[in-house]
Chain A
Amino acid sequence: MITSLLTQGPQEPQRWKHWQLPEQASTFADDHDTLYTFVEWINYIFFFGIMFVLFYAVIKYRRKTPGQPPASVITHHTAMEVTWTVVPLIVVMVIFAWGWKGYADMTLAPADSIQYEVKAERWKWSFKHPGSTEFFGKEFWVPVNKPCQLTMSSTDVLHSFFIPAFRVKRDVLPGRYQTVWFQATLTTWKENVENEKQEGFHIFCTEFCGEGHSKMLGTVHVVSQKQWDEWMKPGAEVPWDPFLITDPEDPTYDEDREFNGNIVYGQSCLTCHTLDGTRSTGPSFKGLWTRNIKRLGLEGKTAAEQEAGMAAYITQSVRNPNAYIAETFDSPSMMTPFPPTSLNDDRVNDMIGFLKSEKLK
C-alpha cells in the first residue's frame, strides 16, 4: 500500500552529471542524484556552519590569562534547543520520504519488462538473454529506453550485482531468486563497426566472495532499439552467442574450436589461469597440453589416442576439479566445478581445441 501511494513509474529523465557520481544512464539516476545533491548540500551547510562557529569561538574566546572566566555560563536556551531538534527532525523526515519513494520506484518492475536471467558464481557473471538457452558471460546487452528485469541467483556464496551507472544493486543469494530492474537511457553500442572495442557500463560484484571478488567484472551494453529488433529476429547472429558451430567433418574444426575456446577462456578461466606461463590461483594454460601428454603416458601414441586421452582429462578437470590436483597446488582444489549447466559439452570440446592450439602447447 505504501508503495502504491508513492510510486509513479519511470519518467523522462533530465540528464546532468554530478561531479562525484557516474553518468546518469538509467531512469533511476536523475532522482537519485537529485536527492544525493540535496543531502550533500545539507551536509555542507551544517558542516561549514559548525566549523565556522568553532573556529571563531576558539580564536575569540581563547583563554589569555589563567583566571579568565568564560564569557557566559548559560546551560540552556529553550528556543535554540527546540529549533535544533525540530529542524533536523523535519529535514531527515524529508530525506527519508524521498529516499523511500526512490526505492519504491525501484522495486516494482513494469509488467512488460524484458526478462533476463543472471547467474553469479565464483568468479564470474553470466547472463541468459531473451530467446537464448545458454548462459553467456561476462557481458549482456539491453535495448535503450525499455524496462529490463533480471532474475538472479548464485551457485555458491553471496555475491552482489552492481551497475553504478544505472544506480542499481542487489545481493545475489544461493538457493533464492532476487530480482532487479532498470530502464537504460544512454546508448553505448556502436553500430556497424567491426573489430572496434565496445565500451559499456561496468558491472561489479559488491559482496565479498573470495579471492576473485575484485576480478568479477562485467559489462552491460546498451543498444539502440533498431539494433535490438534486428537481434531479436529468429536466426539472427547475436553477440551473446558468438560461438561457431563446430563440426569434426569441417576442415576448420580445430580453428573453430580454438576461436570458441578463446571466448570461453575469457569468460570462465581468465580469473585464475594465465596464458603466458605465470602461476596464478591455478596453473597456467601454457604448456598444459604437453605436460599432461607426458604425465598420462600418451607420448608416442597416435594423434587420435592423444586427443581422446587429453579430452578425458580436460573434461574431468572441468567437471570435477578435485580428481587431479596439479603439482605444487593445494588440495582440495580452489576451483569451482563446472557442471554441464555451466559449461556444456560443446564448450568443453572448445576448450580442448583451445588448449591444443599451437600457441598454448
Chain B
Amino acid sequence: MTAIPATPVEETQPIEQKNYLNVTKTFMSWAGTLDHKRIGLMYLIGVTFAFLVGGLFALMVRLHLWDAIINPDGTTTGGIFTPDKYNQYFTMHGVFMVFMFIIPAIPASLGNFALPLQLGAKDVALPRLNLLSFYLWLAGTLMAIASMVMGQIDTGWTFYTPYSIYTNKAVIMMGLAVFTLGFSSIFTGLNFIVTVHKLRAPGQGWFRMPLFVWAIYATALLQVLATPVIGITVLLLAFERLYHIGIFDPHFGGDPVLFQHFFWFYSHPAVYIMILPAMGIISDVISVHSRKPIFGYRLIAFSSLAIAIISFIVWGHHMFTSGQSELALFIFSFLTFFVALPSAIKEFNWVATVWKGSISLEAPMLYALSFLVIFAVGGLTGIILGALSLDIHLHDTYFVVAHFHYVMMGSTAMAFFAGLHHWWPKMFGVMYSRFWSNFAAIWIFVGFNWTFLPQFVMGSEGMPRRYAHYLKEWQGYHQASTVGAIIIAAGVAMMVGYLVMSLFNGKKASNNPWGGATLEWHTATPPVLENFETQPIVDRDPYDYTLVIEAARKGEL
C-alpha cells in the first residue's frame, strides 16, 4: 500500500471528527497525557510564555537605554532603573530567553509534534520520559521565577565568577533551575535519538527522512552530550557559594577562567542546539513552499552532523581576551572558521532550492526568507568575530550583542515562527488570517533589523555591552534600537492576536494546505490520537512533489 495517497481527504467531514485534541477533554487527560502531540502543545504554551516574559525584560532594558547617559565627569542622567535593577533585567532577559525559550522551543514544541508524524510512528519511543521532560521544564521555570522573587540575579546569563560567587542574589536557586531545565533538555534529546533509530516507518531509510528530522537528531546528540557539563558547572558554582570549595575563586586557590571553560564547553554547543532545529525547519518550509526538492539533501544532512561535532571544539572563541595561551587561541580561531563552513553550504543550498521553484509567499515562506537574509548577516558577522585581532577589539561590545541576536533571534526565532505557521493548520485544524500573518512577518523583519543593525555600528565604535549608562555620542544608535524594539513588540502582539483568533474563528484547514510531501501532511488534520489510520509505508523521497503537483493541478489540494 503506498503511503502517500494520490487523492487527498474528502471534503465532507462528519460533524466532529475525533482527533487528538478532542478525543478526551478532562484536565487530567492533558496533565497526564502520554501523547507527543499534546505534550508538544503544552510545551508550546510554556515556551511562548517564556518568550513573552523574556521579551518584556528586553523591552524594559531598551526603554531604560533611551536616555541613560553618563557624563564625562561621571555623573549620570536619564534612564528608568537603578544600575542594580538594570543588571537584573538584562540578566533575566538572557536567562529566560536562552534556557526557557530558545533551547527547548523548536525541539520540544514543534519537534515533539512533528517528528513522530514525519517518521510515520505512533509516538516517541519513551512517552513517559517525554512527559517527565515537560514537567522538568515546568519545574525549572518555576524555580527560575522563585529565584526572581528571592533575589533576582544580576550576573548576566553567563554567571562569571568571582562575581557570581559573591553577589548577594539567589544564584543557587537559579543554578538549580538551570540544572533542572538541563535535564529536561537531555531527556528530550535522548527520546528523539531513540525514536529516530528505532521507530521509523517501514521503507524509511535514513536518507528518506525529512531534513527536519536530521536536524532534530543532530540537536539531540548535542543535548545529550553537552548539557551534563552545564549541570556539573552550576552544581560546582552552588558548592562554591555554599562551602567556598575554592574551585573557581582565586581567594581559595581557584581559577575564574576554569569556570569560563566549563561554562562555554556547554554553552557553545548550546547555540547549535538552538540553530540546528531552526535550520531543519527552514529546509522543510523552503522546499514545501517552493514545491521543489531540497538542493543537496545529503550535504545538508551531513553538515548538520558536522556542525554538531565541530561545535564541541570551538568553545574558546568566547574567551579570546581572558588570557589563554597563544596555542589555544590559534586552535580555537582556526576551528571556528571550520564550523562556519557547513552553515554557509546550507545557506547556498537553500537559495538554490528557492531558485527556479514554484514559490508561494505565505507566512511560513516569508519567515523562512527572513531567516535566509538575517542568518546570512549573523553568520558573516560571526566570521568577523572569529578573526583574533578583530575579536580583541569587538569582544564584549555591542557588535557581539548584534551578532548573537541576528543568529539567535533573527534566525532561530524566525524559524520558530516559520515552523509555527507552517504546522499550525495541522496542529489545530484551522487557518489564520492570510493578510495579518503576511503583514506581521514583514513588520517583524523590519523591526528586527531596525533594532539590531545600529548595534553593529555602535559596537565597532567601541560601545561596551551590559552598560546601564553610555556616553552621549551613542545615544542616536540606542534610540533607534529602542524604537525597533517597540516595533518588534507590536509585531509579536499582532502575531499572538491573529493566531489566537484563528482558534476561535479560523477557516477549517484541509489535510495538506501547503502541498507537503512528508508523512504528516497525509493524515487527518488535526491528526487522530494514534497519528495514522493505518501504518504508513514510505516508498519515495520526502521532497518529491510529483503527486502533489498533480493533485494541485486537478484542484484537489
Measured CB to CB, the residues of A under 8 A from B are 2-3, 18, 20-22, 28, 31-32, 35-36, 39-40, 42-43, 46-47, 50-51, 53-54, 57-58, 61-63, 66-77, 80-81, 84-85, 88-89, 92-93, 95-96, 98-107, 156-158, 160, 162, 164-165, 167-171, 173-176, 178, 202, 204-215, 217, 266, 270-271, 274, 281, 332
A62 touches B163 (CB 8 A): no
A171 touches B321 (CB 8 A): yes
Q: Which of B292, B326, B391, B457 contacts A73 (CB 8 A)?
A: B292
Q: Is B70 part of the binding interface, using a Cβ–Cβ cutoff of 8 Å?
A: yes
B70 touches A214 (CB 8 A): yes
Residue-wise, chain B 349-369 has the 8 Å CB interface mask toward A (1 for contact) of 001101111111100000001
Known: A70-B356, A170-B321, A213-B468. A28 touches B156 (CB 8 A): no
B376 touches A156 (CB 8 A): no
Q: How far is the CA of A89 from the CA of B340 in the complex (A)?
A: 9
Q: How far is the CA of A211 from the CA of B81 in the complex (A)?
A: 12
* Candidate in B163, B373, B555 with the most chain A CB atoms within 10 angstroms: B163
| A contact residues around B553 at 8 Å (CB) | 66-67
Residue of B nearest to A212 (CB): B83
Interface contacts beyond A74-B295, A217-B72: sample of 13 additional A-B pairs, CB < 8 Å, sorted by A: A47-B380, A50-B376, A63-B358, A69-B291, A84-B345, A89-B341, A160-B321, A162-B396, A175-B251, A211-B87, A213-B466, A274-B75, A281-B83
| A contact residues around B75 at 8 Å (CB) | 270, 274
Q: Is B471 part of the binding interface, using a Cβ–Cβ cutoff of 8 Å?
A: yes
B461 touches A20 (CB 8 A): yes
| B contact residues around A207 at 8 Å (CB) | 160, 396
A58 touches B326 (CB 8 A): no
Q: Which of A46, A50, A93, A169 contacts B372 (CB 8 A)?
A: A50
Binds A, one of B37-45, B208-216, B381-389, B443-451: B381-389
B323 touches A167 (CB 8 A): no
Q: How far is the CA of A22 from the CA of B163 in the complex (A)?
A: 30
Instruction: Give the top 5 A-B pairs by smallest Cβ distance, nearest first.
Output: A67-B553, A102-B389, A99-B387, A164-B462, A175-B250
Q: Which of A76, A77, A164 contacts B461 (CB 8 A)?
A: A164
Q: Which of A99, A208, A274 contacts B390 (CB 8 A)?
A: A99
B contacts with A, residue count (CB < 8 A): 100
Q: Which of A75, A85, A165, A208 contacts B297 (CB 8 A)?
A: A75
Give, as a whole number of angstroms, the nearest-CB distance from B446 to chain A: 15
6 inter-chain pairs at a CB distance below 8 angstroms, sorted by A residue, are: A57-B351, A61-B356, A74-B295, A92-B386, A173-B322, A211-B84
B361 touches A104 (CB 8 A): no
Known: A89-B341, A92-B341, A103-B392. A46 touches B358 (CB 8 A): no
A174 touches B250 (CB 8 A): yes
Residue-wise, chain B 285-301 has the 8 Å CB interface mask toward A (1 for contact) of 00000111111110100
Q: Is B552 part of the binding interface, using a Cβ–Cβ cutoff of 8 Å?
A: yes
Known: A50-B347, A67-B549, A174-B256. A168 touches B392 (CB 8 A): yes
Q: Is B469 part of the binding interface, using a Cβ–Cβ cutoff of 8 Å?
A: yes
| A contact residues around B322 at 8 Å (CB) | 171, 173
Residue of A nearest to B167 (CB): A210
Give, as a whole number of angstroms, the nearest-CB distance from B10 to chain A: 19
Q: How far is the CA of A163 from the CA of B266 in the complex (A)?
A: 31
A39 touches B383 (CB 8 A): yes
Residue of B nearest to A21 (CB): B460
| B contact residues around A22 at 8 Å (CB) | 461-462
Q: How far is the CA of A308 from the CA of B95 in the complex (A)?
A: 51
Known: A3-B326, A54-B354, A162-B464. A69 touches B549 (CB 8 A): yes
A99 touches B87 (CB 8 A): no
Known: A103-B392, A169-B393. A66 touches B555 (CB 8 A): yes
A57 touches B87 (CB 8 A): no
B345 touches A85 (CB 8 A): yes
B294 touches A75 (CB 8 A): yes
B469 touches A57 (CB 8 A): no
B163 touches A215 (CB 8 A): no
Q: How far is the CA of A271 from the CA of B395 in the complex (A)?
A: 25
| A contact residues around B46 at 8 Å (CB) | none
Give, as a whole number of angstroms, the nearest-CB distance from A133 to chain B: 25
Residue-wise, chain B 154-185 has the 8 Å CB interface mask toward A (1 for contact) of 11100011110011100000000000000000
Q: How far is the CA of A318 from the CA of B246 in the complex (A)?
A: 28
A174 touches B162 (CB 8 A): yes
Q: Which of A20, A35, A54, A211 contacts B460 (CB 8 A)?
A: A20
A58 touches B359 (CB 8 A): yes
Q: How far is the CA of A40 from the CA of B393 in the complex (A)?
A: 15
Q: Is B470 part of the binding interface, using a Cβ–Cβ cutoff of 8 Å?
A: yes
A-B contact count (CB 8 A): 280
* Candidate in A40, A160, A213, A214 with the most chain B CB atoms within 10 angstroms: A214
Within 8 A of A (CB), among B369-412: 369, 372-373, 376-377, 380-381, 383-384, 386-393, 395-397
B160 touches A208 (CB 8 A): yes
* Candidate in A171, A176, A208 with the most chain B CB atoms within 10 angstroms: A208
* Candidate in B167, B457, B462 with the most chain A CB atoms within 10 angstroms: B462
Q: Is B239 part of the binding interface, using a Cβ–Cβ cutoff of 8 Å?
A: no
A57 touches B356 (CB 8 A): yes
Q: How far is the CA of A32 from the CA of B393 in the complex (A)?
A: 9
B326 touches A54 (CB 8 A): no
Q: How far is the CA of A73 from the CA of B83 in the complex (A)?
A: 57
Known: A62-B359, A76-B296, A215-B469. A47 touches B389 (CB 8 A): no
A81 touches B296 (CB 8 A): yes
| B contact residues around A213 at 8 Å (CB) | 83, 87, 466-468
Residue-wise, chain B 318-346 has the 8 Å CB interface mask toward A (1 for contact) of 00011100110110011001001100110
Q: Which of B348, B359, B456 contacts A61 (CB 8 A)?
A: B359
Give, as a whole number of angstroms, the nearest-CB distance from A98 to chain B: 7
Give, as a whole number of angstroms, the nearest-CB distance from B515 to chain A: 9
A158 touches B256 (CB 8 A): yes
Give, as a whole number of angstroms, the nearest-CB distance from A54 to chain B: 6
Q: Is B479 part of the binding interface, using a Cβ–Cβ cutoff of 8 Å?
A: no
| A contact residues around B329 at 8 Å (CB) | 103
* Candidate in A68, A93, A213 with the most chain B CB atoms within 10 angstroms: A213
B341 touches A85 (CB 8 A): yes
A58 touches B361 (CB 8 A): yes
Known: A70-B292, A102-B389, A158-B160. A80 touches B351 (CB 8 A): no
B392 touches A106 (CB 8 A): yes
Q: Is B76 part of the binding interface, using a Cβ–Cβ cutoff of 8 Å?
A: yes
| A contact residues around B271 at 8 Å (CB) | none
Q: How far is the CA of A208 from the CA of B445 in the complex (A)?
A: 31
Q: Is B14 part of the binding interface, using a Cβ–Cβ cutoff of 8 Å?
A: no
Q: Is B313 part of the binding interface, using a Cβ–Cβ cutoff of 8 Å?
A: no
Residue of A nearest to B551 (CB): A67
| B contact residues around A209 at 8 Å (CB) | 163
| B contact residues around A162 at 8 Å (CB) | 396, 462, 464
Give, as a whole number of angstroms, the nearest-CB distance from A148 to chain B: 17
B386 touches A57 (CB 8 A): no
| A contact residues around B299 at 8 Å (CB) | 81
| A contact residues around B554 at 8 Å (CB) | 67
Q: Which of A43, A58, A270, A281 contacts B380 (CB 8 A)?
A: A43
* Candidate in B294, B326, B554 with the most chain A CB atoms within 10 angstroms: B326
Q: How far is the CA of A28 from the CA of B291 in the complex (A)?
A: 52
Q: How far is the CA of A58 from the CA of B340 in the complex (A)?
A: 26
B462 touches A35 (CB 8 A): no
Residue of A nearest to B250 (CB): A175
| B contact residues around A160 at 8 Å (CB) | 321, 396
Give, as a whole number of angstroms, the nearest-CB distance from B264 to chain A: 14
Residue of A nearest to B557 (CB): A66
Q: Which of A157, A169, A271 contacts B321 (CB 8 A)?
A: A169
Q: Is B257 part of the binding interface, using a Cβ–Cβ cutoff of 8 Å?
A: yes
A72 touches B356 (CB 8 A): yes
Q: How far is the CA of A88 from the CA of B377 in the complex (A)?
A: 15
B386 touches A21 (CB 8 A): no
